[in-house]
Copies of this chain bind each other. A is one copy, B any other.
Amino acid sequence: MPIVTLLTDYGLKDSYVAEVKGAILRIAPDATIIDISHDVGNYSIEEGAFHLVRSVPYFPEGTVHVGVVDPGVGGERKPIIIKSKGAFLVGPDNGLLAPAAERLGVSKVFKITNRELLPQRVSDVFDGRDVFGPTGAFLAKGVAPSELGVEIQSYVRLSTYEPNVTGNHVEARVIHIDGFGNLVTNITYDVLESIGADPGCFFAVNVHGTENRIPYVRHFSATPKNELLLLVAGGGYLEIAVNQGNAHKHLGIARGERVSLTFLK
């Protein structure tokens, strides 16, 4: 039974997500549909890309990921399929799919052109239901991407925000704030290794000009309740967190803001 995942910024209050699922099930009635998230900030391609890049490795071989965060719907951006190692990704060509596709390994890219297979388009502004969902359903059924579109040679990449590393100093950015208030930075585990930082060490963390000395630990309970800590959580990125608390409220920092860390050897 094929698996189709959905990531959108449609929210769960409206019937939009359900309409996409109905359109998928009309084509692939046996599909198992899994929601990645529908609470991506409206039009926030970067946040959607973060959810996708985290999730895709955990799904079975052959999964089709449909992602729709699409501020350019109805405009010039291309509808695409990226064939990756063990998965297909379907959505607008605006960078949303790129980090996840690259994490799996990109093999081919197709522009969706075969309007005859797709349901009659009733709207210019709901490609999730009228184009991307149905395309994902056909792929889940085993239809080849070359029957749905034409191969193209490039896709829009997401300008990644690499942290700036100078010696033991890292200029980073908060790329996501999760539901617990954990601040996810763009510092990967690899960056930490490259500067020689291991769990047990401390960082001086500067937010809005105020500096905190924060331990880098392996799990939340390594620090007392309500105290700040740094840890690499399940997603592979360094997070600033508070044990059983909310680092976002504690530090008053927003998504996209800068944070600088100095490794205290």
Contact = CB atoms under 8 A, between A and B. Distances in A.
A232 interface: yes
A25 B129 contact: no
A125 B34 contact: no
B13 A58 contact: no
B26 A60 contact: yes
A37 B12 contact: yes
A129 B58 contact: yes
Interface string A1-41: 10101000011111111110111011001101111111100
Interface residues of A, number: 64
Interface stretch (A163-171, A190-198, A204-212, A219-227): A219-227
Given A18-B5, A219-B74, A234-B129, A37 B25 contact: no
Interface in A221-256: 221-222, 231-234, 236, 244
A64 to B, nearest CB: 13
A58 B134 CA distance: 11
Given A1-B29, A220-B73, A234-B125, A51 B179 contact: no
Contacts of A21: 34
A142 interface: no
A116 interface: no
Contacts of A124: 218-219, 231
8 contacts: A12-B37, A12-B38, A15-B52, A58-B129, A71-B220, A73-B221, A74-B221, A124-B218
Given A12-B38, A17-B35, A72-B221, 19 more contacts: A5-B22, A11-B179, A13-B39, A13-B179, A14-B179, A18-B36, A18-B58, A19-B58, A22-B55, A22-B60, A25-B32, A33-B34, A71-B221, A73-B220, A73-B221, A74-B220, A125-B219, A125-B233, A129-B234
